[in-house]
Amino acid sequence: MFKTKALLGNSAMALIMLLPSPAMAQATDEVGVEILQLLVDEGVIPFDKAQAILDKARQNAALRAEADAAAKAEDVVNVPYVPETVRDEIREAVRDDVVKTAKSEGWVSPNTLPDWVKAVRISGDLRVRGQFDNFSDNNFPSFPDGNAINQAGGVSNSNFPLLNSTFDRKRVNYRARIGIDARVADGIQVGLRLASGDEPGAISTNSTFGNYFDRNTLWVDRAFVDIEPIQGAHIVAGRMPNPFYSTSLVWDEDINPEGVALSVDREIGGGLGVFATGGFFPLQEREIYDDTNLYAGQIGIHYGSKDSFFAKLGAGYYYYENIQSLKNPADGSRINDWSAPAYVSKGNSNFNMRTDGLTTLVGLASEYELLSGTAEVGYRSGPLTFKLSGEVVKNLALDRATINALRGGEQGVKPGDLGWLTRLEVGYPVISEFGQWQVAAGYRHVETDAVLDIFTDSDFGLGGTDVEGYQLEAYFGVHKNTSLGVRWLSSDSIERAPFSVDVVQVELNTRF
């Protein structure tokens, strides 16, 4: 753009200084007007300056016409000749003069951009989704809403908030995200992303329509620094993209962990590579009590070429420190209320931390020490990809005797420590043009304490664990970087009282 503007400016000045013979004055005037109009339209020069240039050009043309007429009257024939080298020198002089004038007067600064502009990349996406939740008529109607109970700091036993499990729901929501990535220096990059969302929490950036046009909240979704001391090794600190190779079984796609992570990915030849990731992530910081933290690590290998077979395998370990809640003393005091989780979903083994017989505060009854295996295998054929992926996770810390003791002999949902997921995906890996498509199908089985219910997929079964079922997906490109998608997620409870729901989502996605 800057080159174009400079060229237009040069053309206008050259037209003034190298105006040809009087016989061509009218044609030159018409071309000059068009060029000057283009300069004004492009914002290179203001209108008044263009008018002044045009007036001067017309005056010069008139003077030359008079001079030519006088010469003809004297029967003098002038045959001017300007050598090519002289004309080149004139053009260079005109260009330099125009550029110098443009810079000094602030018209334009061609071929230059501030360094920070070249180092910054802005991206974003917008999704508008219609969703229908269809509950089974046989569902249990009185599931306590553990998250609402804890957000209220505990509730009376006679006034439990309940989850919706019987009334079908229709709603429209959107997700908006905008990110800024900037290269600070070689090997140092920072990232910032803002996202929509109705409520605080890690697993949803949806904002639901239907609040009398009230403005929505914008959250800091990512804020991190990425340092690459050597090629292929990254130290990332802050609120970062999920550094672990996983599926939505362990980590919902919207989760961006907070903490510090070190990751390494190295090619070892023949299309084979190895990777490893380790990190420390605070979950709940407490001023005078023990903090809840996550220590995690993963190792793996990958193989593949750009146009044929590929595969990847990873083994992960996630240790949650101080995640299990403590029962309050039998005297009815609330000295251990501090150990209640800040957020809960549904499915994990819970118990009432209170002992006063009048109120309830939800506590996590299990420890969580997860061992996961994640894998994918696929084939690329031209622009299409055929991929089969899956994940298996087991909670090594599940202790049924401890759970029963915390429940005080009260009957609860049967604990379970295993979860698995499989998914088949066919089509274009990224939909960026009209006509591109992708279809997928999957099945999952997630027992009660296989994973933390607040971090697993928030759409399947409307979030949480103790669910099993399948999902079907289809996406089609309707324009550049824009696609229309349909998802159907059908789930049933495994051990708890009957809870079945079919979730249908129709969504429009666009990105830049």
Q: For residue range 184-241, what is the model confidence (pLDDT) as tens digits?
A: 999 999 999 999 998 877 888 999 999 999 988 899 999 999 999 999 999 999 999 9
Q: What are the residue boundaries of the structural domains of the chain, listed by start?
A: 2-105, 117-511
Structure confidence at residue 291 (pLDDT): 96
CA distance between the termini of the chain = 21
Given a contact cutoff of 8 angstroms between Cβ atoms, the answer to whether 216 and 196 are in contact is: yes
Residue 12 has pLDDT above 60, yes or no: no
Give the phi and the psi of residue 93 in degrees, each rounded to 5: -65, -45
Question: Given pLDDT bands bounded at 50, 70 and 90, which one contains residue 47?
Answer: confident
Q: Number of H helices and number of E strands within the chain?
A: 7, 21
Structure confidence at residue 74 (pLDDT): 58
Residue 24 has pLDDT above 50, yes or no: no
Least confident of 199-213, 337-351, 389-403: 199-213
Structure confidence at residue 408 (pLDDT): 85
Q: For residue range 242-282, what is the model confidence (pLDDT) as tens digits?
A: 999 999 999 999 999 999 999 999 999 889 999 999 999 99
Q: For residue range 62-101, what is the model confidence (pLDDT) as tens digits?
A: 777 776 766 665 555 555 566 677 667 777 777 777 667 7
* Better pLDDT: 46 or 174: 174
B/e letters for 175-203, b = 16+ CB within 10 Å, e = fewer, are bbbbbebeeeeeeebbbbbbbbbeeebbb
Q: For residue range 495-510, what is the model confidence (pLDDT) as tens digits?
A: 999 999 999 999 999 9
Q: Which of 265, 252, 266, 393 is nearest to 317 (CA)?
A: 393
* Better pLDDT: 110 or 341: 341
- pTM score of the predicted model: 0.78
Residue 466 has pLDDT above 90, yes or no: yes
Residue 23 has pLDDT above 50, yes or no: no
Could you give the count of Cα atoms lying within 13 Å of 92 in the half-sphere of its Cβ?
6
What sign has the CA pseudo-torsion 344, 346, 351, 354? positive
Q: Which of 276, 182, 247, 179 is nearest to 219 (CA)?
A: 179
Residue reference for tokens 């803002």: 194
* Better pLDDT: 440 or 71: 440
Q: For residue range 356-387, what is the model confidence (pLDDT) as tens digits?
A: 999 999 999 999 999 999 999 999 999 999 99
CATH architecture of 117-511: Beta Barrel (2.40)
B/e letters for 408-429, b = 16+ CB within 10 Å, e = fewer, are eeeebbebbbebbbbbebebbe
Structure confidence at residue 3 (pLDDT): 45
What sign has the CA pseudo-torsion 118, 262, 306, 384? negative
Structure confidence at residue 7 (pLDDT): 45
Quote the CA–CA distance of 282 and 321 in Å, as a whole number. Answer: 10
The chain-wide mean pLDDT, for the chain, equals 88
Q: For residue range 287-312, what is the model confidence (pLDDT) as tens digits?
A: 999 999 999 999 999 999 667 899 99
Residue 407 has pLDDT above 60, yes or no: yes
Residue 109 has pLDDT above 70, yes or no: no
Quote the CA–CA distance of 94 and 5 in Å, as a whole number. Answer: 15
Residue 477 has pLDDT above 70, yes or no: yes
Quote the CA–CA distance of 62 and 373 in Å, as a whole number. Answer: 86
Please return the burial class of 320, using the count of CB atoms within 10 Å of its CB with bins 0-12, 13-18 and 19+.
buried
